[in-house]
Amino acid sequence: SGWTYFGALELGGMWASGERAWYNLYKDLPTAGLYLNNFYFKARDMQPGKGYFVEGLGGALGYRDQYSGINVGRYNDWKVKLFYNEIPHTFTTNYRSLWDGVGSDYLTLKTLTPGGTLVQNPNGTPNQAASTDATRTNLLNAINAGEGGRDLELVRRKGGISLDKYLSNTWRFYGNYTQEKREGARPFGAVFGGGGGGGNIEIPESIDYDTHNILGALRYDDGLNNLNLQAQVSLFRNNIDTMTFENPIYALTNTVLTSPTGTAATAVTPGSMFTTGRYDLYPDNDYYNLRAEYGRSLPEWFRSRLTATISLSKMKQDDDLIAPTTNDMSGMFINGVSAYNNWNTTSALSKQSADAEIDTQLFDIGLTSRPLDKLDVNGKIRYYATDNKTDYQACNPLTGQWGRLINDGSGGAFVIPNATAGNNPLGTLPTAYDTTGCNLDAARALGLVPSAGNTNLTNIPYQYSKTNYELGGIYRLARGQSINGRIEREEYHRDYRERDETWENMVKVGYVNQAMDIGTLRASVEYGRRRGDSYDTDPYKQFYSISLGPEPTANLTNIASWIHNIGSFRKFDLADRDRLALDVRLDLITLHDLDLGISGQYRDMDYPDSDFGRNDHQKLGSATLDLNWQPSPKLGLYGYYTYQQSTMNQAGIQPNGCIIGNYYYFYSDGFVGTGTVPAAPARAGATVVNTVVVASNNWESQCGDNSATSPLWPDGRIWKTDTRDTNHAFGLGGRYDFGFARLELDYTYVKGISSIDYDYNSAALTAVPTAITAATWQLAGNGMPDMDYNQQALNFNLVVPLSKSVALRA
């Protein structure tokens, strides 16, 4: 027959020891045993008119990083490809779990009591402190007694089949189906309690995903016209949509109280009530995409080429929503309303399924022409937009309460009419909003000042559009030399962000020289200037309780939640930005057998209008030297070294407070005190340099932005950080063929140093200087400890041919 066959197989033994978590990050290293490193085979029938082939390859069979594939087909006619690939992701090999059922939808505590350890006072009431201490002790004992040495990992297993078929001289079909199964668990966390959280616990997140991808495409090419038509479907399925875990900690609560008239200070909830927590993990989702790409060569019209792309997508999911808690909330009250059986059912939700959808569209058209032999010009317009159709109200139809029960019922974020006297008419009940039956317009029509400004009422359907206009060209200076340039404008329109519009004007110039006998030079410089319309620090008002009623005016009202962010804070993705990018690459052929590559990159992003947030200059520099030397067929050597350094700055202010009617005393050491009388209390070592009173008619100007005398954001509480990364990557290796054996050597050395330095005024952040606070600031120092990362890898192989077809690798 006309078939020819060839292949290779690398089989051996392996032994490994020691802590292998880092090495096993994406690999599966057997501790001992036979190991099929890799194999491949090919068979071809090359007779004229045949052209059939079978190819296969694989490796690590039986292990969690195994891979294999086979291609069968006929050249220039059809090809079927099957593949299978596994990728492990090991987080640790020394995991101690408090739960059974890791990887499932229910985590059962092995030994600990769900809800923590309740210690009661003699009168039978919960002893909060003693319960917390006892729970912590039991937790420590359980961790120490637990079995270590377990892997916490997940594994991706992906397989697929594809078909590539020439339908005619002009049409070609391509289709594939892939399925990925991802299983295991990863580090995760849970929090209980209200507000910022009263208790955290490290838990494993169970992972059991299936993702199906189906793609079909038709391609057309008649030499002048090119057309790609493609349809794609991706279906993500989470087999653990909801994960419940038994809670080992003693949870303290707020907002959710044990008496209808109680306060957070007096109400102590039996922690043992919150025995479980429940996550609504990533929902199943569907993705559909239709894409058409067209290219048309116009050789008679300035040697032009037109390209156009249309792509329409839909992302949607309609997962059933879950109840806010699994607990019946017996004996609990939220703002005077019984929570009993009002929150452990999906009837507590404004809708039963998510019905979330985002549609996207892309239109791109470009033209490139060569009006002169030396000149190419091109232009392009690209438009991309998202349309978010998701809506959700955070209101319980059973009670009419706006807001949400958080952390499985151990806390709440609700809005009621403001209770500070003077903000609302006398006699306004805490349940006034509730009576509107989750009708947001009706609730707003009441005209009542809400209790806080930052309670979520509805979701925010973020969406945006982006348009790029581009004009560029290439001018050939001489044989092998050219300059290229591009000017571009990028316009963003965003809904519900701090800026409705941003735009960036860019210019890029590049130079290519391939005419030099000694090598090739490529260099480019790009500058971009991004600006935008006025920056609104709180564009989200309609989605928060701030929109429920007028602003408060009464003394003693804490107004801080009405102020979303520092006035001069700039989110970096929207901020004014000046951007510089330099790239240079020089490939030298210094000798006939020696190649030398020198390359460098420099990036500088300046945020000229950002006092807070990411600010100043963000820089990245990178330089690389590459060497390849092949003096003979027997000897080949390579080496490279890359140095990178990046810096990033940011600033923030630790908020203080803003209460109408309160006096704020600004001391010489930066500290800000507060009180209800004009006279400031004495402070050791400092004097009062200013006093400000917040009034109903000035709180926005007093507290809305930072200043030396801002009650909420005083300059004395500014902190600044400087993050710096330095990296070295060095590689060296080669091979030498002795004839009787081949020596192969590869060595890699990587060093990364990350540092975080900071500036702050410790006196401004210290209410009462004590020996303890002094020790705290001594520990704080000027920065976090450096994070050093070092990795060395040496790969040494000796390949000894035993016969024409067998070699030994050691």
Of 211 and 424, which has the nearer Cβ to another protein? 211
Of 389 and 634, which has the nearer Cβ to another protein? 389
Residues numbered 22-41 forming contacts with another protein, rule: CB under 8 A: 25-27, 40
Task: Name the CA dihedral angle for 474, 477, 483, 487, rounded to a multiple of 10 degrees.
Answer: -50
Which position among 700, 725, 744, 746 is part of the footprint of another protein (CB under 8 A)?
A: 725
CA distances from 471 to 132, 308, 466, 532 (A): 66, 16, 17, 22
Which amino acid is residue 617, in one-letter code?
H
What is the pattern of x (binds another protein, CB under 8 A) and - over residues 461-480? xx-x-------x-x----xx
The phi-psi region of residue 779 (left if phi > 0; otherwise alpha if psi is between -120 and 50; otherwise beta) is: alpha
Q: Give the C-alpha separation, 114 to 201, whole Å.
A: 13
Which position among 459, 547, 630, 674 is part of the footprint of another protein (CB under 8 A)?
A: 459
Element (H, E) at 779: helix 771-780
Residues numbered 553-582 forming contacts with another protein, rule: CB under 8 A: 560-566, 569, 571-573
Q: Which residues contact 492 (CB under 8 A, 6 or more apart)?
A: 464, 465, 466, 501, 502, 503, 532
For the bound state, the minimum distance from the C-beta of residue 534 to another protein, rounded and expressed in Å, comes to 18
The phi-psi region of residue 676 (left if phi > 0; otherwise alpha if psi is between -120 and 50; otherwise beta) is: alpha
| Binding status of residue 407 toward another protein by CB under 8 A | yes
- CB-CB contact of 55 with 80 (8 Å): no
Residues numbered 377-396 forming contacts with another protein, rule: CB under 8 A: 378, 380, 382, 384, 386, 388, 390, 392, 394
| Binding status of residue 639 toward another protein by CB under 8 A | no
| Binding status of residue 658 toward another protein by CB under 8 A | yes
Q: Give the C-alpha separation, 731 to 641, whole Å.
A: 6
| Binding status of residue 44 toward another protein by CB under 8 A | yes
Q: Give the C-alpha separation, 157 to 184, whole Å.
A: 11
For the bound state, the minimum distance from the C-beta of residue 33 to another protein, rounded and expressed in Å, comes to 20
For the bound state, the minimum distance from the C-beta of residue 322 to another protein, rounded and expressed in Å, comes to 7
Binding residues for another protein, rule CB under 8 A, total 190
For the bound state, the minimum distance from the C-beta of residue 651 to another protein, rounded and expressed in Å, comes to 9
Of 169 and 803, which has the nearer Cβ to another protein? 169
Work out whether strand 672-675 and strand 635-653 pair parallel, antiparallel, or are unpaired. unpaired
What is the pattern of x (binds another protein, CB under 8 A) and - over residues 95-134? ----------------------------------------
| Binding status of residue 701 toward another protein by CB under 8 A | no
For the bound state, the minimum distance from the C-beta of residue 122 to another protein, rounded and expressed in Å, comes to 31
Q: Which residues contact 605 (CB under 8 A, 6 or more apart)?
A: 577, 578, 579, 580, 617, 618, 619
Residues numbered 661-690 forming contacts with another protein, rule: CB under 8 A: none
Work out whether strand 242-246 and strand 106-109 pair parallel, antiparallel, or are unpaired. parallel
For the bound state, the minimum distance from the C-beta of residue 146 to another protein, rounded and expressed in Å, comes to 18
Q: What angle do CA 627, 630, 631 make, to 5 degrees?
A: 125
Residues numbered 272-331 forming contacts with another protein, rule: CB under 8 A: 277-280, 282-283, 285, 287, 293-295, 297, 299, 305, 307, 309, 311, 313, 315-317, 319, 321-324
Burial class (CB in 10 A: 0-12, 13-18, 19+), 806: exposed
For the bound state, the minimum distance from the C-beta of residue 125 to another protein, rounded and expressed in Å, comes to 28
| Binding status of residue 791 toward another protein by CB under 8 A | yes
- CB-CB contact of 491 with 501 (8 Å): yes
| Binding status of residue 733 toward another protein by CB under 8 A | no
| Binding status of residue 238 toward another protein by CB under 8 A | yes
| Binding status of residue 585 toward another protein by CB under 8 A | yes
**Which residue carries 């039996």 as its tokens?**
270
For the bound state, the minimum distance from the C-beta of residue 53 to another protein, rounded and expressed in Å, comes to 7
For the bound state, the minimum distance from the C-beta of residue 120 to another protein, rounded and expressed in Å, comes to 27
For the bound state, the minimum distance from the C-beta of residue 185 to another protein, rounded and expressed in Å, comes to 14
Q: Give the C-alpha separation, 102 to 240, whole Å.
A: 12
Of 143 and 688, which has the nearer Cβ to another protein? 143
Which position among 18, 48, 149, 739 is part of the footprint of another protein (CB under 8 A)?
A: 48
User: Of 567, 569, 549, which is closest to residue 557 (Cα–Cα)?
Assistant: 549
Element (H, E) at 137: helix 128-145
| Binding status of residue 408 toward another protein by CB under 8 A | yes
Which position among 19, 77, 100, 593 is part of the footprint of another protein (CB under 8 A)?
A: 77
| Binding status of residue 796 toward another protein by CB under 8 A | no
| Binding status of residue 364 toward another protein by CB under 8 A | yes
Of 293 and 578, which has the nearer Cβ to another protein? 293
| Binding status of residue 334 toward another protein by CB under 8 A | no
Give DSSP secondary structure letters for 439-451. Answer: -HHHHHHT-PPBS
What is the pattern of x (binds another protein, CB under 8 A) and - over residues 196-235? xx--x-x--x---x-x-------xxxxxx-xxx-----x-
Q: What angle do CA 205, 208, 211 make, to 5 degrees?
A: 130
Q: Give the C-alpha separation, 706 to 610, whole Å.
A: 13
Which amino acid is residue 265, in one-letter code?
A
**How many residues comprise the chain?**
810
**Bridge partners for 5 per DSSP:** 43
Q: Give the C-alpha separation, 29 to 19, whole Å.
A: 11
Which position among 113, 465, 754, 766 is part of the footprint of another protein (CB under 8 A)?
A: 754
Residues numbered 519-538 forming contacts with another protein, rule: CB under 8 A: 520, 522, 524
Q: What angle do CA 114, 119, 122 make, to 5 degrees?
A: 150
For the bound state, the minimum distance from the C-beta of residue 368 to another protein, rounded and expressed in Å, comes to 5
